[in-house]
Amino acid sequence: MTNQDIELTKKLPRNFGVAPLFRLRWRFEFHDGRAPKYGIWNGASGRKEDSAAFVDKTNLLWAIVEGEKVGAWTVKEFFRVSGADYFHAKWDGAVLAPAFVKESYKAAPNIIGLTMLTRNNAYTALVNGKVLQRKITQDERSIRLAEHSVGG
């Protein structure tokens, strides 16, 4: 991180201890000449059609997570996974809820990351610019997702 980045993160409001230095989105690139498909920054659309699940994945070359730096408005690629290995993209969010609620409580989550699952690994880009990698669990491996019946 540069000194400018450090100063910016001190000024931004924190989401559950994480200073959001970047807005995140997914990007799909294809090897058949099709134009790349882009997600909405921080998944801010309520339309299903704007989700990664609804993109036709035929001839997918790369699934990418990129971030737009708050304040500078430059775009940085955090990681890319092979289209052949890509399995699923999911938003990571956190909600601060009251401890004692007598009725049901609904709140929109604050986006803190974007994760892509592959056949063996999960890669997560966090809004503070960190990238994490881990092995996927057997439960994650066995989940049947609408993404593969809806979007290709």
With CA atoms as reference, report the closest residue to 33 among 53, 56, 61. 61
- Domain encompassing residue 22: 3-150
Q: What is the mean pLDDT of residues 120-125?
A: 94
Q: Output the CA angle 120-146-106, nearest 5 degrees.
A: 100
Tell me: pLDDT of 142 over 90: no
Between 31-45, 50-64, 108-122, 132-146, the lowest mean confidence (pLDDT) is in 132-146
pLDDT in tens, 98-117: 677 777 777 777 888 999 99
- Report how many domains make up the chain: 1
In our burial notation (b when 16+ CB lie closer than 10 A, e otherwise), range 118-145 reads beeebbbbbbbbeeeeeebeeeeeeeee
Between 23-27, 40-44, 107-111, the lowest mean confidence (pLDDT) is in 107-111
Q: Report yes or no on whether pTM surpasses 0.85.
A: no
The whole-angstrom separation of Cα 74 and Cα 50 is 22
- Give me the pLDDT at residue 81, please: 97
pLDDT in tens, 79-94: 999 999 998 999 998 7
More confidently predicted of 98 and 138? 138
What is the identity of the amino acid at 52? A
pLDDT band at 138 (very low <50, low <70, confident <90, very high): confident
Share the mean pLDDT of the chain: 82
For the chain, percent of residues with pLDDT exceeding 90: 45
Tell me: pLDDT of 149 over 50: no
- Give me the pLDDT at residue 63, please: 97
